[in-house]
Amino acid sequence: MKKLTVSTQALLVQIGYVLAYPMLKLMSPKCPAKKLNGEFHIAVQGFLNGYSKENVRFLLNQASLESGLQWQNNATTQDNNPFGMGRVRTRPTTQVGARVANDGSIVTNSVNYIGTYTNIALGVADRFLWDSYAKIDGRSNQYVDAVIQQGYNPNPQQYQWNWLNTQSIGLTITKIHTAIFGMLLAGFTVTTLVLNKKKRRR
């Protein structure tokens, strides 16, 4: 995927999020705005990129693992980086920069850098770029194994166990689908009412 295409896709999904927000908030009133926005992007961008429902669920769980309780860790709140992506040096990316991690962690005897994004939509989009660069199939029933084998985390066994044992407690795919359907239904209803009013005036 090209960066321009990814950025355009993220923008379109963000427009959908703004339209679906009232219903999303109604269904998950205690969910922080950034988490609500990010999980919507994971689900919809995942669908647009051809990911299976099960693998979208895995990504929601991975974001829950990486972003801290209620998406409140520094990488997520400061850097719009819910997947804990490090600084990108070679592959296509939506990152706009990186900063030294303030948790003191060291990766391969060097300082650990946290990638920075303009907004949460592009932070999510970069996760799909990572899969694309690693040639990982979003419909594979061995998706988690493939991500681990491509070196997503320097501690593969522990990371895989943590990922598989983390459950997202925010938006569900069903809630997101319901919100999108509600948004489309509301749009159709408003359009129909406007058209009917115009007909009556003639």
Q: How much is the pTM?
A: 0.85
Q: Under 8 Å CB-to-CB from 44, ≥6 apart: which residues? A: 13, 16, 17, 176, 180
- The answer to whether 76 touches 34, Cβ cutoff 8 Å, is yes
Secondary structure of residue 100 in the 3-state scheme: strand
Report which DSSP code applies to 137.
Answer: -
Per-residue pLDDT of the chain (202 residues; tens, 9 = 90+): 555 588 889 999 999 898 888 888 888 888 899 999 999 999 999 999 999 999 999 999 999 999 988 899 999 999 999 999 999 999 999 999 999 887 655 454 567 899 999 999 999 999 999 999 999 999 999 999 999 999 999 899 999 999 999 998 877 778 887 888 777 777 667 677 766 776 666 6
Residue given tokens 């493939």 in the structure block = 146
- The answer to whether 45 touches 10, Cβ cutoff 8 Å, is yes
